[in-house]
Structure 1
Amino acid sequence: MRFIRTILCAAALCAVTATASASPANPANGVEYLTLPEVQNTDSGSKVEVTEFFDYACPHCHAFEPVLAEWVKKQGASIVFKRVHITRGQGVLPQQRLYYTLESLGLVEQYHAKVFHAMHVQRQRFASDEAVFAWAEKAGIDRAKFIDAYRSFGMEAKTRRAAAMMEAYKIDHWPILAVGGRYLTSPSLASAAVKTDQTEEDQQQSGLLVLNHLVAKAKAANK
């Protein structure tokens, strides 16, 4: 789990020695993006799979959500987009189960942004199962169906898979995007070599530039 942290710590040094052409528009491996030591299997066929690792409690994930959602919309059917809610102990489990319950009920697109709004604007913590159930019911989701999915055996499998994917992809910060099972980038990584002050919005746009580059790179590798 130290892979990304080590690279991030070295990024400043890499930026000093990187060629002048390295930038979000012309990204360099080890600076604006990382190449995984082992290619991970994806199930998206010839299409490029883009996976976001995120956390509902993360303010940067909240800020990035509408920007990323617009990018995904523009890609249409040219990519397969997935999300993985990270795991980091019992405290995040109700929020993680909330996401995977929405996913299992086919309600992510309708309610994903609303969960972020509830946590970061309305200051709901979702620190317990009952808090999650109360929000779902108030949001208009059938309470009984939601609880059944939330407590299902399949939910345990989803949370275990999330932990396994975090380990396989060496994830220790978020939001971060995996492309084609080969590459990782994020707003913070994409901006690591930029020497001027950047707003969070600037970093997000840098992240999308690198993401575009990696999707094209992965498509070429799939041919």
Structure 2
Amino acid sequence: MTRWIKSLLLAVGLVAATVAQADIKEGTEYKLMAQPVPVQVPGKIEVIEFFWYGCPHCFHVEPYVEQWAAKLPSDVNFIRYHVVWQGRSDIEAHAKIFIALNQMGIAGKYQQAVFNAIQRDGVELRREDTLYDWVKKQGIDVNKFKAAYTSFSASAEVGKLGQLVDTYHIDGVPTFIVDGKFVTAPSMVGKEDGTVLTVIDQLIAKERAAKKPAAAAATGETKKKK
């Protein structure tokens, strides 16, 4: 009886997974980009997360994103961008933290720590004295961080982030772009948990399946030329 129940539960799980795959609908869990954007690394499936450290919705989703990102297959290129909206100096101050950490190559390592400081602990990281004190407490080289944070290139990066927001038409966060073609967000799936990442995984699978025939055709053409 126990073995039969286990088999039944396994079958139910497989059916549920199939249903979940079938349930994903354009216009509901995701939508198409009006104008597709080329990926940064050809041959890889790209996933971009647009976020803001000051966004509570981003804060709720981020732990799930951290777990998901740690297990990504090698054919997926995951990129994070902090949003910058014109006229929002409060957002720009947070974006500069991301830019400085990114220039130091440690943005991913301290992603959750920055969120926790702002959203959970109420630390005002938009004040430079408070920010530098917090950076020091994290064990980050303060002088290197200051140099990156106050650099001319950091100001230029703020402008680039604003351009990316315009390119991808980001009007809310968190928002995810899959392979420059698909847009999804917790606001679309109605939950601030790992549900949106399930949708992303299905879109990745969709793109992976679409790329196989193209790759096979290209290989065939190469063999013919030889």
**TM-score normalised by L of structure 2:** 0.79
Structure 2 counterpart of 1:188, one-letter code: S
Contact 2:65 2:194 (8 Å CA) reproduced:
no
For 1:161 and 1:25, the matched residues in 2 are separated by: 38
Does residue 1:141 correspond to 2:140, yes or no? yes
Question: Which residue is 1:204 aligned to?
Answer: 193
CA deviation after TM superposition for structure 1 residue 23, in Å? 6.4
Does residue 1:75 correspond to 2:72, yes or no? yes
For 2:173 and 2:119, the matched residues in 1 are separated by: 16
Contact 1:49 1:80 (8 Å CA) reproduced:
yes
Q: 1:30 to 1:183 in 2, by over 3 A?
A: same
State the SS of the aligned residue for 1:101.
helix
Q: Any gaps of 5 or more consecutive residues in structure 1?
A: 1-20, 192-199
Does residue 1:220 correspond to 2:209, yes or no? yes
Does residue 1:40 correspond to 2:37, yes or no? yes
State the SS of the aligned residue for 2:105.
coil
CA deviation after TM superposition for structure 1 residue 65, in Å? 1.0
Structure 1 counterpart of 2:113, one-letter code: K
Structure 1 counterpart of 2:152, one-letter code: F
For 2:80 and 2:92, the matched residues in 1 are separated by: 16
For 1:22 and 1:87, the matched residues in 2 are separated by: 38
Structure 2 counterpart of 1:92, one-letter code: I
For 1:163 and 1:25, the matched residues in 2 are separated by: 36
Does residue 1:152 correspond to 2:151, yes or no? yes
Q: 1:144 to 1:210 in 2, by over 3 A?
A: same
- Number of residue-to-residue matches in the alignment: 193
For 1:22 and 1:90, the matched residues in 2 are separated by: 44
CA deviation after TM superposition for structure 1 residue 116, in Å? 0.9
Contact 1:50 1:177 (8 Å CA) reproduced:
yes
State the SS of the aligned residue for 1:208.
helix
* RMSD of aligned alpha carbons: 2.0
For 2:201 and 2:194, the matched residues in 1 are separated by: 11
CA deviation after TM superposition for structure 1 residue 35, in Å? 0.4
Question: Which residue is 2:119 aligned to?
Answer: 120
**TM-score normalised by L of structure 1:** 0.80
- Between 1:124-133 and 1:96-105, the stretch displaced more is 124-133
Structure 1 counterpart of 2:193, one-letter code: Q
CA deviation after TM superposition for structure 1 residue 157, in Å? 2.6
Q: Percent identity?
A: 29
For 1:140 and 1:63, the matched residues in 2 are separated by: 25
Contact 1:101 1:150 (8 Å CA) reproduced:
yes
Deviations 1:131-174 (Å, cap 9, x if unpaired)? Answer: 32221122221111111111222212321121111111111111
Q: Higher Cα Rg: structure 1 or 2? A: 2
For 1:134 and 1:208, the matched residues in 2 are separated by: 34
CA deviation after TM superposition for structure 1 residue 217, in Å? 2.0
Deviations 1:148-205 (Å, cap 9, x if unpaired)? Answer: 11122221232112111111111111111101011110122123xxxxxxxx4xx423
Structure 2 counterpart of 1:219, one-letter code: R
Question: Which residue is 2:181 aligned to?
Answer: 182
Structure 2 counterpart of 1:65, one-letter code: E
For 2:173 and 2:108, the matched residues in 1 are separated by: 20
Q: Any gaps of 5 or more consecutive residues in structure 2?
A: 1-17, 215-226
Q: 1:188 to 1:23 in 2, by over 3 A?
A: farther
